[in-house]
Amino acid sequence: MRSVVICVAGLFALLPQLCPAQARKYATPYGSNPAAGRTFVHDGVKLYYETYGAGEPLLVVHGNGGHIQHLAAQIDYFRKSYRVIAMDSRDHGKSADSPGPLTYELMAGDLAALLDHLKVGPANILGWSDGAIEALLLGIHYPAKVKKIAAMAANLNPTPTALHPDALAWIHKTVAEMPPLATATPAQRRERKVVSMMLSHPNIDPKELRKITAPTLVLAGDHDLITDEHTIEIFHHLPNAQLCIFPDATHMIPFDDPARFNAVVERFFRQPFVKRDRLRDFLKSLELMTK
């Protein structure tokens, strides 16, 4: 069965200035391309997606407050050797609003439904920030749809032990400065709904990660919005995991340095996963080195 790569990004509700800069880099208008755009309905919500290239399917999906264009660097890179599929989450981009509260579980369910709609899978999943949360939830709740996971800067809860205190304070301040619902425009109400979710969600018990049997690459920047300790906690709760901390990098390395980021992720997806034994494999290499 063919595999799919899902790439998800997040924490972009507060970063709209990235879009014009990205748009100038690429000839294709990712996220606003009628020739590539399609829709499908799940759970009563119309969801918008685009497809590019040919080959093994690779699905890239943004996260909190973002849309397809925020992953232009990943789409443009992977479309050369994959069939790339990119989707706007519910309450985001060109997808429709949902009637009730927004949760990561609902968005993970939309991703699973998209795989069913396109009749592809199991999927390699690359999640960035909020999207990494959704990627982990796919591994927990939809294990048959998951082949491998690369989770860039995920958090399991919205506490100061997971989100760096500066990042958490920034989100609180942004929500506090938003217009009240009574006077807000539809776009402002949508933004409040999306950003506020980060203050109360997710709420994933680390023990739940043990249900993820798919090989998982845990990634973060060494100056990330997610605390180093929390990233390592996620790594240690996964049964088949690798860890990558990018040096001299922030939460935004998929945008800031896509060549370095994409290369690491592609290598993980393409190479067979080997579960390491720290002592056995050390001694094996030591023996070879000293012959």
Phi, psi at 287, each rounded to 5°: -65, -45
Residue 251's pLDDT band (cuts 50, 70, 90): very high
Residue 17 gets the label, from left (phi > 0), alpha (psi -120 to 50) or beta, of: alpha
Measure the CA–CA gap between 128 and 131, rounded to whole angstroms. Answer: 5
Please give the order of strands across the beta sheet that includes 146-152.
Answer: 37-42, 45-52, 82-87, 56-61, 4-8, 123-128, 146-152, 216-223, 241-250
Domains plus CATH for the chain? 4-290 (3.40.50.1820)
Tokens read off for 113: 């439904």
- Mean per-residue pLDDT of the chain: 90
- Vertex 189, ends 187 and 190: CA angle to 5°? 65
Percent of the chain clearing pLDDT 90 (strictly above) = 75
Taking Cα atoms as reference points, which of 65, 64, 88, 84 lies closest to residue 73? 84
The answer to whether the Cα torsion of 112, 117, 121, 127 is positive or negative is negative
126-179 pLDDT, tens digit per residue, is 889 888 999 999 999 999 999 999 999 999 999 999 999 999 999 999 999 999
Assign 142 to helix, strand or coil: coil
In this prediction, residue 5 carries a pLDDT of 47
- Per-residue pLDDT band at 61 (split at 50, 70, 90): confident
15 pLDDT tier (thresholds 50, 70, 90): very low
For residue 143, give the nearest of 205, 198, 216 by alpha carbon: 216
User: Would you say 193 and 125 are in contact if contact means Cβ atoms under 8 Å apart?
Assistant: no
Burial class, 220, CB count within 10 angstroms (exposed 0-12 / middle 13-18 / buried 19+): buried
Highest mean pLDDT, choosing among 2-16, 77-91, 166-180: 166-180
